[in-house]
Amino acid sequence: MQVWPGQPYPLGANYDGAGTNFAVFSEAAERIELCLLHEDGSETAVELRESDGFVRHAYLPGVLPGQRYGYRAHGPYTPESGQRCNSAKLLLDPYAKAISGAISWHEAVYGYPFGAPERRNDLDSAPHTMASVVINPYFDWGDDRPPRTDYHRTVLYEAHVKGLTMLHPELPEELRGTYAALAHPAVLAHLTGLGVTALELMPVHQFVTDHRLWDAGLVNYWGYNTIGFFAPHNAYASWGERGQQVLEFKHAVRALHQAGIEVILDVVYNHTAEGNHLGPTLSFRGLDNASYYRLADDPRYYTDTTGTGNSLLMRSPHVLQLIMDSLRYWVTEMHVDGFRFDLAATLARQFHEVDRLSSFFDLVQQDPVVSQVKLIAEPWDVGEGGYQVGNFPPLWTEWNGRYRDTVRDLWRGEPRTLAEFGSRLTGSSDLYQNDGRRPLASVNFITCHDGFTLRDLVSYDSKHNEANGEGNRDGESHNRSWNCGVEGPTDDPEVLRLRRRQMRNFIATLMLSQGVPMLSHGDEFGRTQLGNNNAYCQDGPLTWVRWPHGRESADDAGAAEGDGGADGAADDPGAPDQRLCDFVRAMVWLRRDHPVFRRRRFFHGSPVEGAHDELSDISWFTPEGDQMKQRDWQAAQARSLTVFLNGNAISEPGERGERITDDSFLLLFNAHDEARDFVVPADHGSGWKVIVDTARERAYRGDEGETVPAGGRLPLTDRSMVVLRRPA
């Protein structure tokens, strides 16, 4: 076999049409062997003799796409000094663009916690682990262009590749649960019809199931256990795993773009699947443990701010290069439109404390590629000082956990919530305004993959995670949920009506709040996990979205509660609710059609410049129609208020330039457990049209809603919300 010197950059295996250049970093290893794997189980070892800046490299003519390979690192196994090289382990390339196979939990993949390992000459590790794959980088993108949807027009939809598509009745069975399923017309039609502009995919980087779950007969379903930061997860591929997973993912992105939908990846750059000091040696640990991981004072162990066993060393130039190279690769080669960073506070831990001026943020800020896509932080981790909502740099948006908590508290009837609710509803200026950010820095959500689904939020007071095998000790115990009087499934029609009304309250509040709304997949159908709020290890019908088999419209099901029909039916856990989906769709499009609900700047509480009246851009009223005073905000039992949103003179950019809107709204919130009358403010318009009433099964259409005069009284059902529009 010919072996040429090759180049130290780019890292990884890079095919150029005639052969492949291999390059891998390790400062710890004394020598590294590239192992080409053959179909009969044998391997050909090639020592990488060339080294530049601790990058070993070689070019092999004739090595083509589909070739499986790995590395063996010969060097010190000295945990007391932080190094764990072991040539018995076949290691994945940290820059592998595709990975084949899966781990069989044989002892060969494990490291040795302390002491020197036995040096073996056999190849036991190879059949029991995964292999890196050389890929062909060519793909015909055609006229693909990123949608580049502005944040103020963005509606995020968080979804799991398998969970979203596995039970879809219109998908061929061989496509269900795969990247190809995301590109299927039936899935695209649902997303576009719902009004979704961005699909936020739970982890699609190659991940593994850890040994504990495997022994328990469970899997890592969510995927927050990355081992390959460049490789699409091979189990989601229907075309094959010798590089075909890359083509299939690109095909899905292209189809989503053609439908006007951006692709956001949930990425896990805070830790890897190698776990703690007892975990397996799969890649980074065996190549250069001390360069990749944050070690404890005793270097035999790892500093863990993620709850997973290890944390990447964010002050290491090689870790920073790995992350930035990975981000650029997914943007430039895979055409994704942004990233949601899991446990992003860990990325800011250059030393110990969370530091918004850390090197990682500096690199992102100046990077000409990464800085131009959507960057969303999960602004917390499990380490000391890890809750950092509102503290990320101006380029970033954040999952607003305080929005989630406050809105949940309001609708479950917690006292003294109005003041904070007012801030969350209007974009959380207390969190984002002082550092120059706008309401769009707040990604608002009620539910996500982590925690109760929307239906479970209104059906359970307590978590029910027994199926996870941890004695119900895992998962969040304080969910700010309320079961509406009965724990879990019930056939009580009053409880069922209240639960559906509460779900509509949450959806309407989310879609009419300033910021960027995010839906969790299946919540539009009332998906349940039967009270499991930590379903990370449940890969089955419990976590898969159930789709309706026939299109039943809300018009056919009864427009108002109490009309009979399906409204009083017994609870069928998991049955998709088409009426709720229709309501969600109506609220998404109400938001998209009226820019006053998606302002690009904070409210000022002063008259709108250029408007034809002297009204403030926002005003707050008691249910009696009086201006809210300080005592009204702080009253312990106050759970009701009216908000006036002035849409006059809001400029909305369009294809033909700026247009001036004239849409003003009143939002009436009654989170009280009793019905009450609301007085429509007398001096903010002569007449108002009811367009949403969450006490009904659906939003109104056109002009069919009731008209309420200025100063008129409007009764609101207990725990309900009404939206009034002032005709232009």
Domain ranges of the chain: 12-134, 606-726
Cα angle: 70, vertex 72, 75; to 5 degrees: 155
Helix 185-194 × helix 578-593 angle, to 10°: 60
Question: Is the backbone of residue 475 left (phi > 0), alpha (psi -120 to 50) or beta?
Answer: left
Pairing of strands 12-15, 19-25: antiparallel
How far CA 212 is from CA of 98, 209, 218, 676, 703, in Å, comes to 25, 8, 9, 54, 58
Q: How far out from the chain centre does Cα 209 lie?
A: 20
CATH architecture of 606-726: Sandwich (2.60)
Q: What single-letter amino acid sits at 639?
A: R
Return the biggest CA–CA distance within the chain.
88
Q: What is the DSSP code (8-state) at residue 627?
A: B
Tell me whether domains 12-134 and 606-726 share a fold.
yes
pLDDT along the chain (728 residues), means of 10: 97 98 98 97 96 98 98 97 96 98 72 59 60 98 97 98 98 98 98 98 97 94 98 98 98 98 97 96 97 97 93 94 98 98 83 66 94 94 82 92 97 95 97 92 98 98 97 96 98 97 98 98 98 98 92 43 41 85 96 95 82 83 95 89 86 53 89 96 89 86 78 96 89
Positive or negative torsion for Cα 274, 280, 286, 287:
negative
Confidence (pLDDT) at 152: 96
Interval 47-89: pLDDT, tens? 999 999 999 999 999 999 999 999 999 999 999 999 999 999 9
- Indicate which residue of 248, 337, 342, 577 is catalytic: 342
> What is the distance between the alpha carbons of residues 137 and 168, in angstroms, rounded to a whole number?
31
Question: Which residues lie across from 159 on neighbouring strands?
Answer: 201
- Which numeric CATH code is attached to 12-134? 2.60.40.10
Question: 101: phi > 0 → left, psi -120 to 50 → alpha, else beta; which?
Answer: left
Which pLDDT belongs to residue 442? 97
Distance CA 508, CA 517 (A): 11
Strand-by-strand arrangement of the 19-25 sheet: 12-15, 19-25, 55-61, 50-52
Minimal CA–CA distance to 190: which of 638, 585, 661, 495? Answer: 585
Instruction: Give CA separation, 97 vs 59, 60, 201, 220, 334, in Å.
Output: 17, 17, 19, 21, 11
592: part of which helix (H) or strand (E)? helix 578-593
pLDDT given for residue 610 in this prediction: 60
Q: What is the C-alpha separation between 596 and 647, in angstroms, rounded?
A: 5
Q: What is the pairing mode between strands 83-84 and 205-207?
A: unpaired
Residues 489, 217: Cα–Cα separation, whole Å: 27
Q: Which of 61, 99, 394 is nearest to 228 (CA)?
A: 99
Closest listed residue to residue 98, CA positions, set 210, 321, 247: 247
Taking Cα atoms as reference points, which of 422, 428, 365, 357 lies closest to residue 398? 428
CA distance 102 to 258: 33
In terms of residues, how long is the chain?
Answer: 728
Straight-line distance from the first to the last Cα atom of the chain, in angstroms, rounded to the nearest whole number:
77
Give the separation between CA 89 and CA 125, rounded to whole angstroms.
Answer: 6
Helix/strand/coil percent split, the chain, to 5: 25, 20, 50
Pinpoint the alpha helices (H) of 342-433: 359-366, 401-412, 418-425, 429-432
The SS3 call for residue 16 is: coil
Distance CA 12, CA 94 (A): 7
Q: Report phi then psi at 482, rounded to 5.
A: -150, 130
Give the whole-angstrom CA distance, residue 622 versus residue 108.
68
Pairing of strands 31-37, 68-74: antiparallel
The radius of gyration of the chain's CA atoms, rounded to the nearest angstrom, is 27
Distance of CA 331 to the CA centre of its chain: 17
SS3 160: coil
- Chain position carrying tokens 């295996």: 13
Q: Write down the pLDDT at residue 728.
A: 66
The DSSP annotation for 636-657 comes to TT--EEEEEE--EEEEEEETTE
Q: Can you give the pLDDT at residue 124?
A: 46
Confidence (pTM): 0.94
The answer to whether residues 699 and 643 touch, using CB atoms and an 8 Å cutoff, is no
Residue 655 has what pLDDT? 46
Choice among 378, 409, 571, 632 that is catalytic: 378
pLDDT value at residue 564? 33
- Give the contacts of 214 (CB within 8 A, at least 6 positions apart): 105
At 562 the pLDDT is 39
What does the DSSP 8-state code read for residue 151?
G
Q: Identify the bridge partners of residue 219 per DSSP, sorted by sequence position.
A: none
Positive or negative, the Cα torsion across 406, 411, 416, 421?
A: positive
Has 333 been annotated as catalytic?
A: no
Beta-carbon-side half-sphere exposure of residue 117 (alpha carbons within 13 Å)? 24
Mark whether 342 is an active-site residue.
yes
Cβ contacts of residue 431 below 8 Å, gap of 6+? 389, 390, 400, 402, 441, 442
Return the pLDDT at 118. 54
What whole-number distance in Å separates Cα of residue 341 and Cα of residue 318? Answer: 19
Residue of 409, 476, 479, 435 whose CA lies nearest to 669: 409
